[in-house]
Amino acid sequence: MAFIQVEHVSKSYKLPTGNLSILHDLSFEIEAGEFVTITGPSGCGKTTLLALLGALDQPDSGTILVDGHSVHALGAVRAADYRRETIGFVFQLFYLLPNLSALENVMAPLLPYRRMLGFDLRKRAQELLEQVGLASRMGHTPARLSGGEQQRVAIARALINQPKVLLADEPTGNLDPETGREILELLREQQRQGKQTLVMVTHDHEIADIADRTLSLLKLVKAE
């Protein structure tokens, strides 16, 4: 069985004017450890698909299995457990907490569970910041970091729970080309080391070219 199995998934959004149908009977598989990019025209549903894989939202119909577990119809608590245990998210706009230091941002997702963890959270966060090249910036708040450095913090944060799956939504979209390449290499290196499955939404064909595989979505948005 494939590590990620998406079968006959459809998704629409309810608007005051009616339903906006985005994904239609979508099926695909992703193997463990693969680096897959999702491409397609603006508005075709790439971010929506990533949200479904991360159980941030639910499909109208169809099934999504990740590592053998159904994730398409989880309640809020189990969805949060699934994300904490299995998923690391990296976003285009970083979404770091502005009043926290880099170190505190990396620790933040697991801070409420600190006493239940079988490891030293602060030590792991420090190690991750070292791995992403920010050993000397741990005490800085996001405002004192460049865009590339902020994305490095966000990558360390995504890795704090040692996720099996990394979901990245245009992680280089807000960076200049050179910094974007560095961030991509970093993500790739971390993914190889951690043997994670990496699913990345991107508009950048160069990124799609270095991925193991690309899923191209068509724009089939329909108002009903």
Residues that bind ligand ATP (CB under 6 A): 13, 15, 20, 22, 40, 42-48, 221
* Separation between Cα atoms, residue 6 and residue 224, nearest integer Å: 24
Nearer to ligand ATP, 40 or 163 (CB): 40
* Least distance from ligand ATP to the Cβ atom of residue 42, Å: 3
How near is the Cβ of 103 to ligand ATP at its closest, in Å?
Answer: 31
SS3 6: strand
Q: Is the dihedral of CA 213, 79, 90, 190 positive or negative?
A: negative
Q: Of 93 and 97, which has the nearer Cβ to ligand ATP?
A: 93
Token match 């951690």: residue?
Answer: 194
CB of 214 to ligand ATP, least distance (A): 14
Residue number, 24 or 140, with CB nearest to ligand ATP: 24
Asked if 53 and 4 count as a contact pair (C-beta separation under 8 A), the reply is yes
Asked if 92 and 174 count as a contact pair (C-beta separation under 8 A), the reply is: yes
Closest CB to ligand ATP among residues 58, 190 = 58
CB–CB of 179/148 below 8 Å? yes
Smallest distance, Å, CB 13 to ligand ATP?
A: 3
